[in-house]
A and B are shown apart, each in its own frame.
Chain A
Amino acid sequence: MTKRVAIVGIGQTKCGYNIDGFNHKELLYLATKQALNDAGIQREQITSAFTTSLDFTEGRSLSNQYSLDSIGGVMKPCDLRLGEDGIYGVFAGYMEVMQRPAQIVVVASVQKASDRGPGADATLMLSTQETNYVRPVLANLPAPAAVEYCLAAMEARRYMHCYSITEAQIAKVAVKNYNNATRNPMAQNGKKITLDDVLSSEIVSWPLRSLMVAQPGDGACTLVLASEEMAAELTDNPVWIMGIGWCSETGYIATSELAKAKFISTAARRAYAMAGIKHPASEIDLAEVYDNCTFNELQYCEALGLCGEGEGGRFIDSGASEIGGSLPVNPSGGLLGHGNPLGTAGLMRVAQAALQLRGEAGDYQIPNAEVAVVQGCQWPYRAGGVVVLSKW
């Protein structure tokens, strides 16, 4: 039985809003072609694929079925579609390789938020909530456009209250990530901004301000996975998947402890155990985290054990998570800076971390990066997963 699974090909489009007029099939084709070229394989060599997509964000039921042509998956076992964030594709791909090692497995995801048009996301986010008890409450909000932000704001308020996190601290995450993104040529929202800019931006749902929430965008990402034996033939620069874990809380917001991301800490525990990591804060060189809203980055860093519980504020204050810091978080710019193609963003985090470990991250390269942790999330659900990557 193969012991390990490697990422042998990485492909991604840049993030943006209506990128050069490409439709979602074309975006996915571009990312996949790039990943296949990167792995040095032809589409005929793909043996299996997993796609991830969410029907409601695509505006199409069974939204993966037009992906098969784009990823070279026709007449192959490429039908399986996970209605989850892209990072779940890595989990399924990992299992597929472990089950039958002589395979080249493609994991792909695409999102085209620009098809939805402005304002559509409010209805969309309402549809994620339970129909009988939760949705009617949210539907009565005075400004329905803020549904997604209201959900996040409740969580933010609770988190900040429990651990005395300040608005300035959650604003610092935005400053860091937008600035990081200026170094990333694939990023949608790179900009040099200051703390004052963030704290004076418009409130979308207190305490969240417009510069603290990731704006939806377009983008596609494809990874090629292979077993240890296959990877040795394909590449000199594999990135190993050392640990995976994923976890869900319930779909009812009322039954969740909002201050803590328990689903992430549970998933992380499993991923670290697989990877043999005992002290994440000292053993991990960089993290790519699902910073859907600024406070999420702090909350998830705590859940990932990159800092202690409740210490997210001190963690950002210390500068440790800056590109030059001791444990850089989201050097790519994260969802805030790099881009937030909903449902693809988690897979993009994996791709970005893998680029770092290969030493191919250009201006935002972390020197000597060997171990990375990546976290994805199926926002706004309390469900998500963790991947530990290693260069060796």
Chain B
Amino acid sequence: MARRVAIVGVGMDKFARQKDESVDEMVYKVAKNALDNAGLPREAIDAVVFGCAVDAFTATSAAEKVAIGGAGGWLRPTMRNCTSGSTAISTAILGYLHVASGLYDVVMCICFEKMSDCRPHPQHVFNTVYDEMWVRPIGLNVPIQCGLEARRYLYRYGITELQMAKVSVKNHGNAVDNPYAQLGRKLTVEDVMKSPYISWPVKVLDTSPTTDGARAVIFASEDVAREITDGPVWVKGVGRCGDSCWFMGRRNYDLGRIDYAYEAARQAYEMANIKDPSEEIDAAEVYDPFTYKEMQHCEALGLCPEGGAGRMIDEGIFLREGKLPVNPSGGLLGEGNPIGAGMSRLCWAYLQVKGQAGACQVAKDVKTAVCNGWGGMYQYNAVMVIGRD
């Protein structure tokens, strides 16, 4: 059996459209914050795991190599994971593996993204993820593919654009209380509905911003965790899954149902011994680069029945004061979306379980929380369930 693994500290810093800091500096800040948060010296770190979505944002091949110093990784084992958006959680899972396998006791996971270096806009980079022969020439990028996927999802389950808009209002509103957020603001449903389409049915305010930022999480073995903290937050389950990158190779030929996310969630819940997520999960930090993705992910994570996310939004279940708060921190929509550094979802889930989420803390007692990351060409998902004893 694997060793138990705890999260003992997280490092946060402000997300912004453009940070006047190098990758090295951004990484240093969150690494330092995480060490302070965990009460550990730099020397305690056995290994460093990096995550960044794709190299092309910073035009540096293996962009993390310049940040090894900032992360305290000099002459230590470092490893980098990059799976686009799901990097956010799959990097954390790789860090978890370092400890669970028994190889290391204290491991620092750092995810960063500096998208502002990419001119005129990082969307050009996203076109380069597609196959160079068959798909790239079509000119696909993220919003275009999102439009296709969203349209199919709305049609398949009878979800409305109005319901999507309510997710935007919720998450931007939640982010007002998040000190690290880029886009906290009080919006109305009308504001969202009136914003222009970027790719029908997805509107500007359904979309997360372009962001610079970094996040750090420290994983520790049970022995170390019990030594340095009274209430360890355990990694209870992990799951990840990748479907075929070819649209026509997907398991069910239907962009509207994200089978790979259901599978990743199934693995994580099985490991965490969770039978009914909608009852047993107290709060969720869900990957929401677009409003409809939050809804899709809530369904895949079993927080509501398949196709039921629209009704949950209407009933206010996912509000911070609701029965099952989703993205009380503001999510990617409100906090900002530095792709890989979406590991912020895990940071906030941890803070919720610790009761240290400040103004973002949900009303109910959070014992178990779930977070996920989504990426690749819409076919990767990684899920992590954390909680107290």
Contact = CB atoms under 8 A, between A and B. Distances in A.
B379 interface: yes
Nearest to A61: B54
Interface stretch (A35-43, A240-248, A291-299): A240-248
Interface stretch (B97-105, B177-185, B196-204): B97-105
A80 B84 CA distance: 10
B2 interface: yes
Contact of A62 (B59, B62, B82): B82
B245 A66 contact: yes
Given A74-B242, A262-B75, A55 B65 contact: no
Contact of B65 (A266, A270, A381): A381
A159 interface: no
Interface stretch (B128-136, B146-154, B307-315): B128-136
How big is chain A's contact interface, by range? 35 or more
A74 B244 contact: yes
B2 to A, nearest CB: 4
B260 interface: yes
Contacts of A76: 241-242
A68 interface: yes
B95 to A, nearest CB: 10
B380 A267 contact: no
Contact of A83 (B55, B75, B98): B55
A367 interface: no
Interface stretch (B86-94, B220-228, B326-334, B347-355): B86-94
B243 interface: yes
A92 B66 contact: no
B101 A248 contact: no
- The contact size tier of chain B is 35 or more
Contacts of A378: 62
A280 interface: no
B273 to A, nearest CB: 15
A38 B382 CA distance: 31
Contact of A92 (B97, B132, B259): B97
Contacts of B22: 132
Contacts of A248: 65, 68, 73-78
B251 interface: yes
A137 interface: no
B144 to A, nearest CB: 16
A81 B81 contact: yes
Nearest to A57: B61
Given A92-B97, A124-B61, A250 B74 contact: yes
Contacts of A88: 79
A17 interface: no
Contacts of B81: 80-83
A226 interface: no
Nearest to B249: A69
Given A62-B377, A65-B129, A98-B102, A383 B60 contact: no
Contacts of B84: 61-62
A26 interface: no
B1 interface: yes
A33 B77 CA distance: 31
A257 B75 CA distance: 12
Interface string A234-274: 00000000001111111110010000001100110010000
Nearest to B264: A77
Nearest to A91: B79
Given A54-B61, A247-B76, A79 B101 contact: no
B376 interface: yes
Interface string A48-85: 00000011110111101110110001111111111110
Interface string B219-248: 000000000000000000001111111100
Interface string A276-289: 00000000000000
Given A96-B97, A124-B61, A60 B132 contact: yes
B83 interface: yes
Contact of B128 (A60, A124, A266, A383): A60
A262 B56 CA distance: 29
Interface string B5-32: 0000000000000000010000000000
Given A248-B68, A249-B74, A62 B83 contact: yes
A55 B90 contact: no
B305 to A, nearest CB: 22
Nearest to A127: B61
Interface string B246-261: 1001010000000110
A131 interface: yes
A118 B264 CA distance: 42
B101 A98 contact: yes
Interface in A68-121: 68-69, 73-84, 88, 91-92, 94-96, 98-100
B242 A92 contact: no
A8 B75 CA distance: 32
Given A83-B80, A248-B74, A77 B59 contact: no
Nearest to B80: A83
Contacts of A127: 59-61
B125 interface: yes
Given A69-B249, A91-B79, A55 B267 contact: no
Contacts of A62: 53-54, 82-84, 129, 375-377
Given A55-B54, A131-B59, A247-B76, 16 more contacts: A1-B1, A60-B131, A61-B54, A61-B56, A62-B129, A65-B129, A74-B251, A80-B83, A81-B83, A99-B97, A130-B65, A131-B66, A246-B78, A248-B74, A251-B67, A255-B69
Interface of A: 1, 54-57, 59-62, 64-66, 68-69, 73-84, 88, 91-92, 94-96, 98-100, 124, 127-132, 244-252, 255, 262-263, 266-267, 270, 378, 381, 383, 385
18 contacts: A1-B1, A1-B102, A55-B54, A65-B242, A75-B263, A79-B240, A79-B381, A92-B79, A96-B97, A124-B61, A130-B66, A131-B58, A247-B77, A249-B75, A252-B66, A262-B75, A266-B75, A383-B78
Please provide the 7 A-B residue pairs with the shortest distance between their CB atoms, ordered closest to farther: A251-B65, A79-B242, A98-B101, A56-B61, A95-B101, A61-B54, A251-B66
